[in-house]
Structure 1
């Protein structure tokens, strides 16, 4: 967690290569993905999401997911990546995911001011996100 919170991508890569449990949680139930999402370390989020064992559905002791944390912290680009990863990895629609998980943050991504917004328009703040989301689905 320390490497993640300090944005040390090189150390995170080494730990993963050495077999570290990518989904391990601390005493508050937070995972490395949650920590990276909170601190805005998008490169670490990408690295963690690229690992086949990364589970974005874990919740901390408060019932909060990495997606929730990213959105609360104002890290929308990270929220979009996590959300897209969940959609593409499970092949489910946003509405099914929200109903299944009772997510606090699926709704803000799916809509803004009660108006539906397509996922591609939510990435307008970062032109490369469309390509990155596509790469995650591969």
Structure 2
């Protein structure tokens, strides 16, 4: 029987029959299984692995932790399990996203709130040099923007493109209801309405160029030039 163990191990690997409780699973394979379970939202498997004192912040080939994989798929309950077990909400992957930054950018509101309650670094930035607020504003995630403002994020942070959250909401937004509301939220929170981009163009000038009349009015009332 002893001589058959390598063959048996190979067969189990090829057929996908290994689980996190199998004695043949190496630490690296267990990490992979945890990340895969997190991404698919298999809370039972994730809970089992946590109970076995898994390496919560182990990485896959993309640099993702299990929490990052769960956040990508917006697996709320799985993310909750991992965060409450101590997973790092600021652990960045290979492209400089973290669970906190990604949840903010994608409007995964429940996961975002959990990361904020467990040590999210409001000053952390993505590969574009932007905080979570900037892509949230660009993509029209109104409630996400509201939550990030209330959390105390830097409203006037400038990314590598020379844009603030307000500039991105105007330049990359569609001028519709969501971006109008985000503009109002940012202005009410004290955003600098005259902070121009790298070319010296202000939010108001961008709004006028695009025909975003309602946004332009909000900016004008706030003293924009």
Q: Shorter-chain TM-score: which interval?
A: 0.5 to 0.7
Report how far residue 42 of structure 1 moved.
0.9
1:67 alignment partner in structure 2? 100
Deviation at 1:37, TM superposition (A): 1.2
Contact 1:37-1:69 within 8 A present in 2 as well: yes
CA distance in 2 between counterparts of 1:106 and 1:59 reads 17
Higher RCO (Cα < 8 Å, 6 or more apart): 1
Pair member with larger Rg: 2
Structure 1 gaps, min length 5: 88-96, 117-138
Deviation at 1:72, TM superposition (A): 2.9
Distance 1:49 1:106, change over 3 A: farther
After TM superposition, the score normalised by the length of structure 1 is 0.66
Aligned to 1:133: none
Aligned to 1:98: 122
- RMSD over equivalenced CA pairs, Å: 2.0
Alignment of 1:48 onto 2:92: no
- Normalised by the length of structure 2, the TM-score is 0.42
2:68 maps to what in 1?
34
Structure 2: gaps of 5 or more residues = 1-34, 135-144, 150-181, 190-225
Question: What is the aligned counterpart of 1:10 among 25, 37, 44?
Answer: 44
The equivalent of 1:92 in structure 2 is none
